[in-house]
Structure 1
Amino acid sequence: MAEIAVLLPCYNEEVTIGKVVKDFRASLPDAKIYVYDNNSTDQTASIAAQAGAIVRKEPRQGKGNVIRAMFEDVDADVYIMADGDDTYPAEAAPAMANKIIEGYDMVIGDRLSSTYFEENKRPFHNAGNKLVRNSINFLFGAHVNDIMTGYRAFSFTFVKTYPVLSRGFEVETEMTIHSLNNNLKLYEMPVKYRDRPDGSVSKLDTVGDGMKVISTIFTMIREYKPLPFFGSLGLISSLVGLGFLISVMIDFWRTGMVARFPTLIGSVMLIVAGLLFIVTGIILDVIAKRDRKTYVTGANIFSYWHRH
């Protein structure tokens, strides 16, 4: 029988954490439930322990830091990650775990195809989810419905080979981009989302965390898709420089004189800069492909080790 671990990162969730632990205990009776308390100032840790969870502390503030600690510390065949705010249905966990056992690397609990837009009362969050989803799907040629969901299931190999770099709520976006870049086996499962109950307060900062998510996307596109990123910059720079150069050449053809030397010099510099951007993109693209090969090799080693 596969060993299942439920991972619940928490910060001040005393209103809901007891119910969340009990719900997952009922849905997955044989699973170990871990609550990682991220410097809560309320009774989250004690309530989770009373409900039967294994409670651990993570002093580094931020959801990304908590997930990094959980992935490092906990060994299991299947991992179910959810939030402690009682917005995700625990009854979906067995089906998600079964998909991992079937061979998927990550199962995404898709809120956006279900009840998210009906339940979530924060319009900026809804718009942000759509913007992030459309941007990443366009850049990676994918069709993922819910990029930022916190309800996911993972294989052992994914957990032990995924480099958690983000410190905050942008970590879910990072997970999705990492998976798409490395062509991992993903499965999306629609789940019913429910808004936080009365008395439970969201820790998300719509503007601040939204900017962090956008920054994460920008950084990871630059790292994972360097040729399109730098190639686009190079093409734009070269075309602008070529436009100025043509205007100088037209004047020269009409008058036989170069009257705008600064424009001529600037246009040539823009063209050269554009070519350098393109060459940089080609070099970094080769490095990115090598990194993907290294990741696949490392993942295969972890998978073999875990099976034996």
Structure 2
Amino acid sequence: MLIQNEEPSIAVLIPCYNEEVTIGKVVRDFRKALPKADIYVYDNNSTDRTAEIACQAGAQVRREPRQGKGNVIRAMFEDIDADVYVMTDGDDTYPAEAASHMVEKVLEGYDMVIGDRLSSTYFQENKRPFHNFGNRTVRGVINSLFSANVTDVMTGYRAFSYSFVKTYPVLSKGFEVETEMTIHSLDNNIRLYELPVQYRDRPDGSVSKLNTFGDGFKVLSTIFRLIREYKPLPFFGGLGLLVGIIGFVLTGSVVFDFFRTGQVQRFPTLIGAVMLIVIGLLCIVLGFIQDTLAKNSRRRFIMDTNYVTRDYRMQKR
């Protein structure tokens, strides 16, 4: 919480890789929308004039040598201190006019504000059908698993509080980082707000760096990994139950043959079936153990967030 009458500090964070066509306009638009904000462009090994144009437009340009959007976000979150953070892409697909409303929501107490593209013009503007299918699929899976109702899981337009930025562990290296953010927030019951924003497709001459199938596979892999980490009991318990049922069915067929013939005719099947039952039970036990560890991890996260928030408030006094 800010001291009354104190002007909040705002940082606009723009990860960039070869965005010379659009980055100048993006910087100028956000300078107009948030005139008191500091604008940071993180150049991720661009081979064009992205850094030069961003600097001319008035942004503070920094370089991140580790390739990948996740690596850039990790560097931004580590380097920059502000009361409110606005993160956008350098491709001019998100409206800067919505930034002030997003900042207001963070100052009201939300930890992450999601710029929701899918409720507005995304499906009309985006010309890549597999991206549309991927967004719907990822959204459905995550909402089902976390009993949530998030509309846009993968948007790159977000605003954050200081405590979120300084406690969020960025593990992903690439474009899957937005999905990781959403799952992390839902699992830790972080205060979220979705703000519908107008989406526009890239202008002519601007090329997307997102590989539909390669990065789509990374997103799905990230979801699989995060479900295993954040929802271990349903993951391992469901797997154990499935393996155990298969083992019981095979065991039952051998027992049925025994009662019918008086002999155990399929010893390899019986041995394999018993092993499947044991493996299934072990998976279920592992699920309970991992679930306890996950709960302890959430408890530590809450404590760390409280410490960060307390220390930051003391610094602001």
- Give the TM bin, normalised by the shorter chain: over 0.9
Deviations along 1:256-276, whole A, 9 cap, x unmatched?
Answer: 211111111111111000000
**Secondary structure of the residue that 2:203 maps to in structure 1?**
coil
Q: Cα distance, 1:307 vs. partner?
A: 1.1
1:276 aligned residue (282, 286, 290): 282
**Secondary structure of the residue that 2:301 maps to in structure 1?**
helix
**Secondary structure of the residue that 1:75 maps to in structure 2?**
coil
* Aligned match of 2:169: 163
2:294 aligned residue (285, 288, 297): 288
* Aligned match of 2:41: 35
1:83 aligned residue (89, 93, 108): 89
Q: Cα distance, 1:124 vs. partner?
A: 0.5
Partner Cα separation in structure 2 for residue 56 and residue 5 of structure 1: 14
Q: Which runs of 5+ in 1 are unaligned?
A: none
Partner Cα separation in structure 2 for residue 125 and residue 237 of structure 1: 34
Partner Cα separation in structure 2 for residue 120 and residue 189 of structure 1: 19
* Aligned match of 1:109: 115
* Aligned match of 2:235: 229
Partner Cα separation in structure 1 for residue 266 and residue 295 of structure 2: 44
* Aligned match of 1:59: 65
**Secondary structure of the residue that 1:35 maps to in structure 2?**
strand
1:185-204 correspondence to structure 2 within 5 Å: 185-204=191-210
Q: Cα distance, 1:20 vs. partner?
A: 0.4
* Aligned match of 1:142: 148
- Which ranges of 4 or more aligned residues in structure 1 deviate by more than 3 Å? none
**Secondary structure of the residue that 1:36 maps to in structure 2?**
strand
| More moved, 248-257 vs 35-44 | 248-257
Deviations along 1:69-114, whole A, 9 cap, x unmatched?
Answer: 0000000000000000000000000000000000001000000000
| More moved, 245-254 vs 1-10 | 245-254
1:240-255 correspondence to structure 2 within 5 Å: 240-255=246-261
Q: Cα distance, 1:251 vs. partner?
A: 1.1
1:298 aligned residue (278, 282, 304): 304
Deviations along 1:98-133, whole A, 9 cap, x unmatched?
Answer: 000000010000000000000000000000000100
**Secondary structure of the residue that 1:9 maps to in structure 2?**
strand
**Secondary structure of the residue that 2:89 maps to in structure 1?**
coil
1:130 aligned residue (136, 146, 152): 136
C-alpha RMSD over aligned residues? 0.5
Q: Which amino acid aligns with 1:125?
A: H
Q: Which amino acid aligns with 2:252?
A: I
* Aligned match of 1:181: 187
Partner Cα separation in structure 1 for residue 15 and residue 37 of structure 2: 16
Q: Which amino acid aligns with 1:78?
A: V
Q: Which amino acid aligns with 1:211?
A: F
Partner Cα separation in structure 1 for residue 71 and residue 279 of structure 2: 39
Q: Which amino acid aligns with 1:153?
A: A
TM-score by length of 1: 0.99
Partner Cα separation in structure 1 for residue 137 and residue 237 of structure 2: 23
Q: Which amino acid aligns with 2:31?
A: R
* Aligned match of 2:4: none
Q: Which amino acid aligns with 1:38?
A: N
Partner Cα separation in structure 2 for residue 123 and residue 229 of structure 1: 30
Q: Cα distance, 1:226 vs. partner?
A: 0.5
**Secondary structure of the residue that 2:143 maps to in structure 1?**
helix
Q: Which amino acid aligns with 2:268?
A: P
Q: Cα distance, 1:148 vs. partner?
A: 0.3
TM-score by length of 2: 0.97
Q: Percent identity?
A: 71
Partner Cα separation in structure 1 for residue 146 and residue 101 of structure 2: 27
Tell whether 2:125 aligns with 1:100: no
